[in-house]
Structure 1
Amino acid sequence: MDLFLSAPNFSTLRCTHPYRSPAPLRSRIFTVRSSSLPFPIQKAKYYRELQAAVGVVERACRLCLDVKSSLFSYDERIIEKNDQTPVTVADFGVQALVSLELGKLFPSIPLVAEEDSAFLRTNNLADPVVNAVIGSSSSVDKSWTKADVLEAIDRGGEDAFAFGTRPATYWVLDPIDGTRGFLKGTEALYVVGLALIVDGEIELAVMGCPNWQEDLANRPTPDVQEFENILSESGIVMVAHRGCGTWAKRLSFEQQTTISVPSRWTRCSVDYYSLVHEARFCIPESQTWDSLPLSALFSATTDADSVGDNQILLLPKCCGSLCKYLMVASGRASVFILRSRVQKTIKAWDHAAGIICVHEAGGQVTDWKGNQIDLSADQTGRRIIFPSGGVVVTNGNLHNQIIEMTSFD
């Protein structure tokens, strides 16, 4: 099965990603419009932090689109890390941008993130990253130097808790979750994911998905009209705050020559399926259905029009975990199952932002035994999570059934 969402297969998701070939973003003037959150400040303890996070994630998404428009003119901008995963100027640029801007606004809150500058220094990529960051930063500070950018990347990549301070509050960032999707093209999903952790609890999150689009004609939920406003050729941003729900709106990119039309926030909810054989499943691109315990009870098909008895609908694979959380939180998928593997470490930044978005949309996230995911289990660096068996993400209605079925393993 293809590792990426192709246009024909993506129709199974009832979404469309028609190919577009816009003019390079460097030749157009874009602004990122700040906007209020969809709930009152009195209701959200971390309103200011979430508002800042939305702004920086939108700028990070613009950076991704900007880099992507010229990416393949520069072969040296794509390199492979030691774990055989790709990394690009956009990955480093997003991490630097988020580190710089949040560090300016919240200097006491450290950042835990995926990358460090060693790859840039050894592959001579620092200058393209600096240019990308400065081009996408807010108008407040355009004077950042190469040293500032490299230091900002390392603030997220180094152990923020190495000196025994272990702050109770910290940001967790995945600069680009699904870099292979970023490299694939406009029809593939990737996510910029940012979350704020306080005393081991996820308090807020923002996920930006520049390529997200939907065809709502066949959306099997009763509130179809509520999602019409997030149709956009420039993707969506999804936010969640503890106790305030999960919300989405169009990414706020606009050309300065156009009339501003404010984006409207829409509340997101998981789907309503309560029978396993009717649910829509997604799994990691690195795993197969046959490797999961549920395969003993159900076979899988990717053809939505021919789901038979004892079969489930398996959605086409897409890169990264956060886009799968996004699909569950928005009602696109019912279940996401990830199996832990001994040789692969599960990182907090692949899950933190998605967990609260699913919870606040009405779903559930646990390990295979039904335990909550412990983001503070890694006392050293807050980077690793240790779910028993793996991670189960559902619409809530199906959660206990899926947990029982994974216990067959």
Structure 2
Amino acid sequence: MTSLYSRELEIAQLAVQRASILTKRVFHETSKGTVSKDDASPVTIGDFGAQALIISALKHNFPHDEIVAEEEATELRAYPPLRDQIWELVRTTSLDDVAAEGLLGGGIKDADAMLDIIDQGNSKGGKVGRVWTIDPIDGTKGFLRGGQYAVCLALLQDGDVKVGAIGCPNLPVDDAAPLTADIGANATDDEGRGVLFSAVIGQGATSRPLKAGALAEGRSISMKPLTDMSNASFCESVEAGHSNQSESAQIAQKLGITKQSVRMDSQAKYGSIARGAGDIYLRLPTSKTYQEKIWDHAAGDLIVREAGGEVTDIKGNRLNFGVGRTLATNSGVIAAPKAVHSQVLSVVQEVLGVK
């Protein structure tokens, strides 16, 4: 019996896996550049290439769905050498992925068609209809240094997340592998690394090894039962500009958490706590005006909730993905097992002075 969203899940998993393989090729084959996206740096090449592959797969299978994606191709049109470099990666990655070709479509015709496909991620989003949201490389700096990054895709229907997939090339395959304090520093895709997380609303969350070709067998994942807060570990962003780390330390102290925080880039944090490698993810506001982007949280939000967790902002509200390209009505993110989420939320509000 075919379950609800089974086709969307299969396409999402295969598209994220293919795009993740492209990003790995970029990391290993391309000379390292700056983080700037106006040059031929690896992050530029990887972002555009991954987005082209994912949108191409979505448009082949769901031509009427809208797409919210991070990149647009204006600079590639103005700089043909960069366009051609990205096109060669996209073309060869598609050719190598024969196992998925029938499901993801016959590939992109040429470099100009690739640019048109990249630009189809320009939807404004909203709470009506089916909208996919893509982050082709989440965790730019993690990607560049060989640390944690993720390729992220989610389907929203009428503003609610229904399907999520996250490719994490540098996380351990072993769901039981504990998070270590240095996991965000240098974790390149050696043997035993590379995970594909996924979830469908109401159907639980899954992890599987990330590999070329057909999907590997998946395993059900769930958050770790947390009975003693002193044994808890929490994840936060590497970059201080992304989350207030001094306030996180105060919160951990008040909760009785004694372990050092694990700092890592990208939605790999959501995947890590969903499978019980970590327990809590805090992303505390650093600015009253900053708005989180929906592509940075949609897939992870669903995967954690389907693994037995709860995800809210610092006021206790569910993340609202139906107001456009940003989480304009939310501030911060708290993800934790359901049993302790209210306790974590209470301490966060105390430390931040939230009423």
Question: 1:243–1:116: structure 2 CA closer, same or farther, 3 Å change rule?
Answer: same
User: In structure 1, how many angstroms separate the alpha carbons of the residues matched to 2:252 and 2:274?
Assistant: 26
1:252 aligns with 2:194: no
User: In structure 2, how many angstroms separate the alpha carbons of the residues matched to 1:285 and 1:272?
Assistant: 26
TM-score w.r.t. the length of structure 1 is 0.73
1:332 aligns with 2:277: yes
Q: % of aligned pairs identical?
A: 30
**Secondary structure, counterpart of 1:196 in structure 2:** strand
- The 5 A counterparts of 1:135-284 are 135-137=92-94, 139=101, 140-142=105-107, 144-156=109-121, 158-160=122-124, 167-185=128-146, 188-213=147-172, 233-253=192-212, 263-284=216-237
The letter of the residue matching 2:229 is V
CA deviation after TM superposition for structure 1 residue 280, in Å: 0.4
TM-score w.r.t. the length of structure 2 is 0.83
Corresponding residue to 2:84 among 110, 127, 135 = 127
User: In structure 2, how many angstroms separate the alpha carbons of the residues matched to 1:178 and 1:297?
Assistant: 24
Q: Which residue of 2 aligns with 1:70?
A: 29
CA deviation after TM superposition for structure 1 residue 132, in Å: 1.4
The letter of the residue matching 1:323 is A
The letter of the residue matching 1:385 is L
User: In structure 1, how many angstroms separate the alpha carbons of the residues matched to 2:338 and 2:207?
Assistant: 20
User: In structure 2, how many angstroms separate the alpha carbons of the residues matched to 1:50 and 1:296?
Assistant: 36
- Superimposed CA distance per residue, residues 285-313 of structure 1 (whole angstroms, 9 cap, x where no aligned partner): 22353234x606717xxxxxxxxx94532
**Secondary structure, counterpart of 2:56 in structure 1:** helix
**Secondary structure, counterpart of 1:193 in structure 2:** strand
Q: Which residue of 2 aligns with 1:224?
A: none
The letter of the residue matching 2:304 is V
The letter of the residue matching 1:147 is D
Native 8 Å contact 1:275 1:398 kept in 2: no
Q: Which residue of 1 aligns with 2:250?
A: 295
Native 8 Å contact 1:363 1:395 kept in 2: yes
Native 8 Å contact 1:96 1:149 kept in 2: yes
CA deviation after TM superposition for structure 1 residue 204, in Å: 0.8
Question: 1:132–1:392: structure 2 CA closer, same or farther, 3 Å change rule?
Answer: same
Q: Which residue of 2 aligns with 1:285?
A: 238
User: In structure 1, how many angstroms separate the alpha carbons of the residues matched to 2:293 and 2:153?
Assistant: 13
Question: 1:204–1:286: structure 2 CA closer, same or farther, 3 Å change rule?
Answer: same
Native 8 Å contact 1:181 1:319 kept in 2: yes
Question: 1:88–1:328: structure 2 CA closer, same or farther, 3 Å change rule?
Answer: same
Question: 1:406–1:244: structure 2 CA closer, same or farther, 3 Å change rule?
Answer: same
User: In structure 1, how many angstroms separate the alpha carbons of the residues matched to 2:124 and 2:329?
Assistant: 23
The letter of the residue matching 2:270 is Y
Question: 1:356–1:232: structure 2 CA closer, same or farther, 3 Å change rule?
Answer: farther
CA deviation after TM superposition for structure 1 residue 374, in Å: 0.7
- Superimposed CA distance per residue, residues 101-156 of structure 1 (whole angstroms, 9 cap, x where no aligned partner): 11011100011011111232345411111111112225442452111111111111
The letter of the residue matching 2:315 is K
- Superimposed CA distance per residue, residues 232-281 of structure 1 (whole angstroms, 9 cap, x where no aligned partner): 63511111001110011112326xxxxx9x83211001011133332101
Gaps of 5+ in 1: 1-39, 221-230, 255-259, 300-308
The letter of the residue matching 1:130 is W
- The 5 A counterparts of 1:94-133 are 94-123=50-79, 124-133=81-90
Native 8 Å contact 2:173 2:208 kept in 1: no
CA deviation after TM superposition for structure 1 residue 396, in Å: 1.7
User: In structure 1, how many angstroms separate the alpha carbons of the residues matched to 2:70 and 2:29?
Assistant: 24
- Superimposed CA distance per residue, residues 147-178 of structure 1 (whole angstroms, 9 cap, x where no aligned partner): 1111111111x2356xxx97511101110111
Question: 1:394–1:251: structure 2 CA closer, same or farther, 3 Å change rule?
Answer: same
Question: 1:147–1:219: structure 2 CA closer, same or farther, 3 Å change rule?
Answer: closer
The letter of the residue matching 1:350 is D
1:319 aligns with 2:265: yes
CA deviation after TM superposition for structure 1 residue 216, in Å: 6.9
Gaps of 5+ in 2: 95-99, 180-189
- Superimposed CA distance per residue, residues 17-52 of structure 1 (whole angstroms, 9 cap, x where no aligned partner): xxxxxxxxxxxxxxxxxxxxxxx52xx311111111
1:51 aligns with 2:10: yes
